[in-house]
Amino acid sequence: MRGGITWGDGVLAVGLALCTLGSFFGMQYFNLSGSTVIVELKDLVVYKSDLTENRKITVRGDYGDVRIQVNEGRVAVVHADCPNKVCVRTGWRSLAGDVVICVPNRVLIRIVGEQTKHIRGITG
């Protein structure tokens, strides 16, 4: 058997390196959107779904209904029976780590994905 690097080794090495770099930087910089939406009522998970599945969810809290819409990878509270409607005014959220919250009804909507395994915070 001959020693040294063959042409095949080179192709394999470059391929592996590209895959590694691609997945690393892809995770870091390009794929920020979440993949799953989790709805919690009073700290208990009441709903979990793929963020790409369009649907409408209604959760009943202490002040009444909280209507949630999942649409094209985004989620928003479209109606809430609560005094201040901060959750409705929050608008659409799509980033992994994002949350929408209805404090009076204690409804928490979280977006999670591979990115939430990374060290990341969202400000604003």
Partner 1 sequence: MKPFLLWVTIAVSFTSCSRDEIRPHSRQSTAMETYVSVTTYDGNLSQHDAYALIDSAFAEINRIEHVMTDYSESSEIGTINRLAGKDTVEVSDEVVSLLQASLSFSQQSAGAFDVSIGAIVKAWDFLSSEPEVPSRSKIRMVLRLTGFKNVMVEGTKVFLTEKGMRLDLGGIAKGYAVDRAVEILKRNGVQHAIVDIGGNLGVWWEGTRGVDSTVAEILVRHPRKDGKYFGSLKVGTAGVSTSGDYQRYFFHDGVRYHHIIDPATGYPARDVVSVTIIASDALNADALSTLVFVLGREKGMNFIKDREGVEGIIVWEKEGVLHHELSPGLQGKFTRSDD
Rule CB under 8 A: is residue 118 a binding residue for partner 1?
yes
Rule CB under 8 A: is residue 110 a binding residue for partner 1?
yes
Report the residue number, 57 or 86, with the smaller CB distance to partner 1: 86
Closest distance to partner 1 from the beta carbon of 21 (Å): 9
- The single residue among 12, 18, 45, 46 that binds partner 1, judged by CB under 8 A, is 12
Read off the tokens for 75: 């989620």
For the stretch 110-113, contacts whose Cβ atoms lie closer than 8 Å and that sit 24 or more positions apart, written own/partner, are 110/37, 110/38, 110/40, 111/34, 111/36, 111/37, 111/38, 111/51, 111/75, 112/34, 112/35, 112/36, 112/38, 113/31, 113/33, 113/34, 113/35, 113/36, 113/51
At 38, give phi and psi (nearest 5°).
-120, 130
Read off the tokens for 124: 């604003």
- The single residue among 32, 47, 67, 69 that binds partner 1, judged by CB under 8 A, is 32
Rule CB under 8 A: is residue 117 a binding residue for partner 1?
yes
Rule CB under 8 A: is residue 7 a binding residue for partner 1?
no
Rule CB under 8 A: is residue 54 a binding residue for partner 1?
no
CB-based contacts of 31: which residues, under 8 Å, 6+ apart?
Answer: 113, 114, 115
Closest distance to partner 1 from the beta carbon of 93 (Å): 5
Chain residues binding partner 1 by CB under 8 A are 3-5, 9, 12-13, 16-17, 20, 24, 28, 32, 40, 43, 74, 76, 83-86, 89, 91-95, 97-99, 101, 103, 106, 108, 110, 116-124
